[in-house]
C-alpha cells in the first residue's frame, strides 16, 4: 500500500535541478542589487574621501579654489529645508491619517480620497515642483525661499506619510479601541492615549523614510528656482537657499575633475545623513515588531 | 522677558552703529543673478572675490539656462525679477519685445569669449578637420548622413555617432546658427544632453563618434578626446586653443558671452559695486584656470564700463544684427 507513492518519481532529478537553478537565479538577483551598491559606494568613497574634512563642512562653495570649497551653505540649506518640511508635513499628514482611519465614514467620498492619496504618492517629483512654483513662489509671494522649497517638499512627502500612518493605525487591534471606549473614554481620549502611542513607531518609520526621499530631491527644488551659488547660511524661512543635491549636481556639471571629486565628497555628506536615518527607521520597525505582543497573541 | 529683549536690541543697535562707523562705505543687500550654465562660473567667481570686499552683500547665482534666465529677468512681477542675467548668446528679438512689454530696461555688456570644440574619438586617425560645409551637411535637419564615408570621399565606411547639447542649451542655439545657418535648425537623431560631461563620455566611448560642446570641457578631458580643426570654407582649418580663440581666428565657432543688467537694479549701490568690481578684475576672473574662458580686450571692458555708467539701455548685438563686425565696433557704435 505504501509502495506506490514512493515509486512515484518521474523526473525527480530534473525537477530538483530546476529547483536549484531557480534558487541560484534568485540569489544572483539579490546579490546584483548589493553588488551595484557596493561598486557605487566604493567609487564615491574613492573619489570623495580625500576631499572630506572639517573644512569641507565649514567652507562655502568656491569656483576659484576647489581645494578650499565646501558645502556649508548647501548643508545648512538642507537642514533648514528638512526641519521645516517635517514641521509642516508630519502634523498634517498624521492628522489626515487619523481622520481617515478613525473618524471618516466609509463612503464614496473617503474612498475617493484614499484613491487620490495613493495616486499622489506616485506622481513624479518634478510635477510637485511646478505646483510649488505656481502656488508658493508666485501666488503666495514666497519667492525662491526656504519656505517655498520646504512647502513643495512637504506636498511631495505628505502622501507617503499619510499612507504609512494609515497602515500603522490599521495595525492597532480593534480590541484596544473597544476596551477604552467601554471604560468610558471619549473618542479623542482613546486615540490620544491608546491608538496613537501603539501606532507611533510605525508612523515614525514612515516619516523617516519619507524624509529620506525628500532630502535627495533636486528636481522640484530646481523647478521652483532654488539657487546654485549661495555663500551664506539662511537666517530665516524667507531667505534664499541652496541644498546638497543641487550643489552636487552643479559640481558634477563642471569640466574640471577637481569639482567631480567635490561632488563625490558632497554625496558622502548626503549619505552620512541618509544612512543613519534609514538605520533608525529599520531599528524602530524591529523594536516595534518585538514589542507588539498583540500581533502574536491573537487578541 | 521684555527686559531681556530690550537689552538685546540695545546691544544690537550699539554693534551695528560701531560697524557702520568703522567701514562707512560697507554695503549690504542682495544681488540676484541667474541664467546660462556656461556663464555661471564667471559670475560665481566674481561673487566669491567680491565677498572679501563687501562681505554683507549677498550675491546669489542660479542656473536656468540662457532662455530660462531671461524669463526670470523679465518676469511680469518686479519682485521676482533677477538683477543680472547670464547669457551665452545675445538676447533674442522676442525677449527684447517682452522686455518692452513688462517695462524692463536693460544694459547689455560683453564679458568674455567661449569656443565650441568639435571632437571625435581619439582612435579616429582619418579626420583632422571638417569644413563648415561638411558640418552643415552632417547636422542640418533631415540629414541622411549615417556613415563617415558619406562625409568626405576617402573616409572609411564607419558608422557616425553624433553627440551634442540638447535644445535647451545656448551652445545648441549658437552652433545651429553658425553652422546650419538657422538658429535651432538641427537634425534630431543625435544623442543630446544638457550635461557636457555626458557628451564627453559619449564621444570618448564611441569609435565613430563626432560631437560638439564647450571648449573648456575638451581641455579638462584632453586624453580621452580628439579635437579637430574647423575650416570656415576657406581651405584653412583652425584647431582651437585658448590662444587661438583669443586671436579671433577660430570662426565661426567662437561666441561672445554677455551679462544683461536691469537698469533700475544698477542704481542700487550693491549691484553697481558688484559689476564695477567684476569689470575691474574681469581678466583675472574670466581666465582663472577653473573658469577657463577667454577674456576680452581692455578696450571692450572699458566700453562695457562706460555703457553701465551712462545707463545705455538696449541691445547693441540686435542693432548690429546681420552685419559682420567685431565686438569692439559693435559696442562702440551702438
Kindly provide the ipTM of the predicted complex, given to two decimals: 0.82
Task: Say if A209 falls within a structural domain.
Answer: yes
**Which of B48, B63, B80 has its CB closest to that of A231?**
B48
Q: Most B CBs within 10 Å: which of A63, A65, A77, A148, as the mutation test of the B interface?
A: A63
For range B138-167, the mean pLDDT: 93
Task: Describe chain B by its helix, strand, coil percentages, rounded to 5.
Answer: 45, 20, 35
- Does A229 contact B30 at a Cβ distance shorter than 8 Å? no
Q: Most A CBs within 10 Å: which of B44, B72, B82, as the mutation test of the A interface?
A: B44
Whether A250 and chain B come into contact, CB under 8 Å, resolves to yes
Task: Say if A101 falls within a structural domain.
Answer: yes
The CA distance from B279 to B42, in Å, is 11
Q: Check pLDDT > 60 for residue A295.
A: no
Residue B304 confidence (pLDDT): 94
- CA B121-B126-B132 angle, 5° bins: 85
Task: Say if A223 falls within a structural domain.
Answer: yes
CA distances in angstroms from B173 to A122, B177, B255, listed in the order given: 35, 6, 11
Mean pLDDT check: name the lowest of A126-130, B120-124, B215-219, B327-331: B327-331
Burial B9-42 (b: 16+ CB within 10 A, else e): eeeeeeeeeeeeeeeeeebebebbbbbbbbbbbb
- Using an 8 Å Cβ cutoff, are A101 and A113 in contact? no
| Residues of chain A found within 8 Å of residue B63, distances taken between Cβ atoms | 228, 250
| Residues of chain A found within 8 Å of residue B197, distances taken between Cβ atoms | 252-255, 260
**Which is it for the CA torsion A125, A129, A131, A135, positive or negative?**
positive
Specify the higher pLDDT residue, B214 or B15. Answer: B214
The CA distance from B98 to B101, in Å, is 5
Task: Describe chain A by its helix, strand, coil percentages, rounded to 5.
Answer: 75, 0, 20
Q: Which fold has domain B27-114+256-333?
A: D-Maltodextrin-Binding Protein; domain 2 (3.40.190)
Whether pTM exceeds 0.95: no
For range A66-95, the mean pLDDT: 95
The CA distance from A218 to A248, in Å, is 9
Quote the crossing angle between the two packed helices A72-98 and A196-215, to the nearest 10°: 140
Confidence of residue B324 (pLDDT cuts 50, 70, 90): low
Q: Which CATH number fits domain B115-254: 3.40.1160.10, 3.65.10.10, 3.40.190.10, 3.90.380.10?
A: 3.40.190.10
pLDDT, tens digit, for every residue of A171-222? 999 999 999 999 999 999 999 999 999 999 889 989 998 999 999 999 999 9
Task: Say if A207 falls within a structural domain.
Answer: yes
- Using an 8 Å Cβ cutoff, are A111 and A206 in contact? no
Of B100, B333, B51, whose CA–CA distance to A73 is shortest?
B51
Same domain, A250 and A202: yes
Domain hosting residue A16, numbered range = 12-51
What DSSP line would sit under B207-256, residue for residue?
TTEEEEEEHHHHHTTGGG-EEEEEE-SSS--B---HHHHHHT-S-SSEEE
What DSSP line would sit under B267-294, residue for residue?
TSHHHHHHHHHHHHTHHHHHTSTTT--B
Task: Say if A5 falls within a structural domain.
Answer: no
φ, ψ at B33 (rounded to 5°): -120, 140
Amino acid at each position: 500500500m505504501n509502495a506506490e507513492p514512493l515509486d512515484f518519481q518521474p523526473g525527480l532529478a530534473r525537477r530538483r535541478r530546476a529547483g536549484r537553478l531557480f534558487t541560484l537565479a534568485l540569489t544572483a538577483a539579490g546579490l546584483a542589487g548589493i553588488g551595484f551598491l557596493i561598486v557605487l559606494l566604493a567609487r564615491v568613497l574613492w573619489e570623495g574621501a580625500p576631499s572630506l574634512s572639517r573644512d569641507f563642512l565649514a567652507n562655502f562653495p568656491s569656483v576659484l579654489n576647489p581645494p578650499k570649497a565646501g558645502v556649508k551653505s548647501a548643508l545648512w540649506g538642507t537642514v533648514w529645508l528638512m526641519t521645516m518640511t517635517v514641521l509642516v508635513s508630519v502634523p498634517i499628514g498624521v492628522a489626515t491619517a487619523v481622520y481617515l482611519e478613525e473618524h471618516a465614514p466609509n463612503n464614496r467620498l473617503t474612498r475617493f480620497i484614499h484613491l487620490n492619496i495613493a495616486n499622489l504618492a506616485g506622481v513624479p517629483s518634478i510635477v510637485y515642483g511646478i505646483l510649488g512654483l505656481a502656488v508658493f513662489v508666485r501666488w503666495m509671494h514666497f519667492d525662491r525661499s526656504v519656505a517655498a522649497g520646504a512647502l513643495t517638499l512637504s506636498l511631495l512627502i505628505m502622501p507617503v506619510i499619510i499612507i504609512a500612518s494609515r497602515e500603522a493605525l490599521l495595525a492597532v487591534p480593534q480590541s484596544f479601541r473597544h476596551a477604552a471606549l467601554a471604560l468610558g473614554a471619549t473618542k479623542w481620549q482613546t486615540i490620544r492615549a491608546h491608538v496613537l502611542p501603539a501606532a507611533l513607531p510605525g508612523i515614525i518609520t514612515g516619516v523617516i523614510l519619507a524624509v529620506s526621499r525628500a532630502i535627495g530631491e533636486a528636481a522640484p527644488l530646481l523647478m521652483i528656482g532654488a539657487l546654485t551659488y549661495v555663500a551664506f547660511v539662511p537666517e530665516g524661512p524667507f531667505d534664499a537657499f541652496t541644498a546638497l543635491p543641487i550643489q552636487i549636481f552643479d559640481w558634477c556639471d563642471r569640466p574640471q575633475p577637481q569639482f567631480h571629486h567635490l561632488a563625490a565628497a558632497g554625496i558622502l555628506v548626503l549619505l552620512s545623513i541618509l544612512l543613519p536615518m534609514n538605520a533608525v527607521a529599520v531599528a524602530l520597525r524591529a523594536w516595534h515588531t518585538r514589542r507588539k505582543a498583540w500581533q502574536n497573541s491573537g487578541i | 522677558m521684555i527686559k531681556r529683549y530690550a537689552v538685546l536690541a540695545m546691544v544690537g543697535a550699539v554693534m551695528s552703529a560701531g560697524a557702520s562707523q568703522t567701514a562707512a562705505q560697507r554695503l549690504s543687500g542682495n544681488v540676484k543673478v541667474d541664467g546660462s550654465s556656461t556663464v555661471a562660473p564667471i559670475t560665481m567667481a566674481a561673487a566669491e572675490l567680491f565677498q572679501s570686499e563687501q562681505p554683507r552683500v549677498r550675491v546669489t547665482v542660479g542656473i536656468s539656462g540662457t532662455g530660462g534666465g531671461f524669463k526670470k529677468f523679465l518676469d511680469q512681477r518686479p519682485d521676482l525679477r533677477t538683477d543680472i542675467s547670464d547669457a551665452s548668446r545675445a538676447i533674442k528679438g522676442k525677449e527684447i519685445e517682452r522686455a518692452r512689454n513688462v517695462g524692463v530696461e536693460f544694459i547689455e555688456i560683453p564679458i568674455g569669449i567661449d569656443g565650441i570644440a568639435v571632437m571625435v574619438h581619439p582612435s579616429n586617425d582619418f579626420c583632422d578637420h571638417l569644413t563648415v560645409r561638411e558640418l552643415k551637411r552632417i547636422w542640418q535637419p533631415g540629414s541622411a548622413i549615417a556613415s563617415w564615408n558619406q562625409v568626405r570621399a576617402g573616409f572609411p565606411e564607419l558608422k557616425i555617432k553624433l553627440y551634442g547639447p540638447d535644445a535647451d542649451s545656448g551652445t545648441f542655439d549658437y552652433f545651429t546658427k553658425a553652422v546650419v545657418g538657422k538658429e535651432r535648425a538641427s537634425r534630431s537623431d543625435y544623442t543630446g544632453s544638457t550635461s557636457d560631461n555626458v557628451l564627453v563620455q559619449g564621444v570618448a566611448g564611441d569609435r565613430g563618434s563626432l560631437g560638439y560642446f564647450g571648449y573648456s570641457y575638451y581641455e579638462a578631458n584632453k586624453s580621452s578626446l580628439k579635437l579637430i580643426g574647423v575650416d570656415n570654407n576657406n581651405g584653412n582649418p583652425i584647431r582651437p586653443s585658448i590662444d587661438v580663440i583669443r586671436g579671433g581666428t577660430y570662426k565661426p565657432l567662437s561666441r561672445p558671452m554677455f551679462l544683461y543688467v536691469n537698469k533700475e537694479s544698477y542704481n542700487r549701490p550693491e549691484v553697481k559695486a558688484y559689476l564695477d568690481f567684476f569689470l575691474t578684475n574681469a581678466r583675472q576672473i574670466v581666465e582663472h584656470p577653473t573658469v577657463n574662458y577667454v577674456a576680452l580686450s581692455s578696450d571692450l571692458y572699458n566700453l562695457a564700463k562706460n555703457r553701465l555708467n551712462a545707463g545705455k539701455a538696449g541691445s547693441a548685438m540686435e542693432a548690429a544684427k546681420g552685419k559682420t563686425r567685431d565686438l569692439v565696433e559693435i559696442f562702440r557704435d551702438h
